[in-house]
Amino acid sequence: MSHNHAHGHGHGHHHHPAPGDNGRAFAIAIGLNTAFVAIEFVYGFIANSTALMADAGHNLSDVLGLGLAWGAALLTKSAPTRRFTYGLRGTTILAALANALLLMVACGAIAWEAAHRFAHPEPVAGTTVSIVAFIGVLINGFSAWLFVAGSKDDINVRGAYQHMAADAALSLGVVISGLVIIYTGWTWLDPAVSLVLVVVIVVGTWSLLKESIQMVLAGVPASVDATGVTGFLAAQPGVTEVHDVHIWAMSTTETALTAHLVMPAGYPGDAAIDDVIRHLREDFAIHHCTLQVEQGTTQHGSCSLHDGLEAHAHHDHDHDHDHDHDHDHKHGHGAHSHAH
């Protein structure tokens, strides 16, 4: 028996800006931050401030991260080839992961430096540090603002935004600690503020790291309701079964789906399939669909991944059933004892 395959593309979904729309923001942010890294390092050396030089190193890692994110965004425009049939859209996922890892490494370096300064406090030129750090607040705050709009739907851009926001927070902490040190002489405050900011940045970066790892491992994107998608397909006229459903991220803004639909009456026609694909695009943000229609007249070799998923779901169901049974048994036994 032959199979019918339907393919659908939806590249114009209005909730997802096209990759590369943030090119100007990347160019401005990279230019401003590259200049600031040089200024911050020079003045940190002049003021004998390890805090400023460490912050300059962190800003340098962010410039590299911005370069990765921008390069990946540009690569998404590359046309598919016989080798890379999706083009190079996946580089945005790798860039998001790299940005998250860079932030974590930078936080580790800052925490290490802070611990060292607790043990070996050094005099800080508070005025110079505060002025230079305040410039950093302005530059990084403006850079973060450039990415606000694009960060809502693209974790690659969100990674750039979190980099800039983290830098602004770090610089603000340095400003405050510098001013307090000028008037109180509390040199321990500088590393203390650094450690607090590290915790804040790590907490904020964790979701980016987790989501990008899920995408690298071809997990269902957090923005997609997999159960809802399967339910929608199963509810279509003529569909008696849905199996081998796979949903994964092609890039940080585009999602793909493949699924088998059992339709005993046969292929419903292009118009019906086009309508299903349109709903998947508009209601579930799935941009590339491949649907295989089967009549269910033979026992097809099922996908091994599907078998594993079914076994996992069956195991979870049995576990929940056993747990509920034990809970009811213990509850009933307790009520029985209480009655006596």
CB atoms near residue 265 (< 10 Å):
10
In contact, 162 and 205? CB cutoff 8 Å: yes
In contact, 257 and 225? CB cutoff 8 Å: no
Lowest pLDDT segment from 64-68, 81-85, 149-153, 159-163: 149-153
pTM value surpassing 0.75 = no
Report pLDDT digits (tens) over 117-141: 788 777 767 788 888 889 989 998 9
Residues 6+ apart with CB under 8 A from 171: 55, 133, 134, 136, 137, 140
- Identify the band that residue 194 occupies on the pLDDT scale cut at 50, 70 and 90: confident
Tokens 């395959």 belong to residue = 5
For residue 17, pLDDT over 80 is answered with: no
- Per the document, the length of the chain is 340
pLDDT of res. 21: 57
pLDDT of res. 327: 46
pLDDT of res. 8: 47
Please state the rounded mean pLDDT for residues 101-123: 82
pLDDT of res. 14: 33
Sheet holding 288-294, edge to edge: 4-9, 288-294, 255-262, 241-249
For residue 57, pLDDT over 80 is answered with: no
223: closest CA among 13, 64, 82, 83? 13
For residue 7, pLDDT over 70 is answered with: no
Residue 16 to residues 19, 50, 96, 126, 249, Cα–Cα distance (Å) = 9, 42, 17, 45, 13
In contact, 92 and 73? CB cutoff 8 Å: yes
Would you give the end-to-end CA distance of the chain in angstroms? 67
- Identify the band that residue 198 occupies on the pLDDT scale cut at 50, 70 and 90: confident
The top-scoring range by mean pLDDT among 27-36, 64-73, 109-118 is: 27-36
Report pLDDT digits (tens) over 305-330: 555 555 555 555 455 545 554 544 44
108: closest CA among 201, 172, 38? 201
Indicate the average pLDDT of the chain: 77
Phi, psi of 294 (to 5 degrees): -125, 150
Token duo for residue 84: 């890379």
Percent of the chain beyond pLDDT 90?
A: 16
Percent of the chain beyond pLDDT 70?
A: 79
In contact, 90 and 75? CB cutoff 8 Å: no
Report pLDDT digits (tens) over 217-270: 988 888 889 999 999 999 999 999 999 999 998 887 789 999 999 999 889 999
Please state the rounded mean pLDDT for residues 287-299: 87
pLDDT of res. 138: 92
- Identify the band that residue 338 occupies on the pLDDT scale cut at 50, 70 and 90: very low
Q: Could you write out the DSSP letters of every residue in 35-89?
A: HHHHHHHHHHHHTT-HHHHHHHHHHHHHHHHHHHHHHHHHHTTSPP-SSSTTTTT
d(CA 292, CA 262) in angstroms, rounded, equals 8
Amino acid (1-letter code) at residue 91: T
Lowest pLDDT segment from 35-44, 224-233, 293-302: 293-302
In contact, 38 and 55? CB cutoff 8 Å: no
Collapsing DSSP to helix, strand or coil, 140 comes out as helix
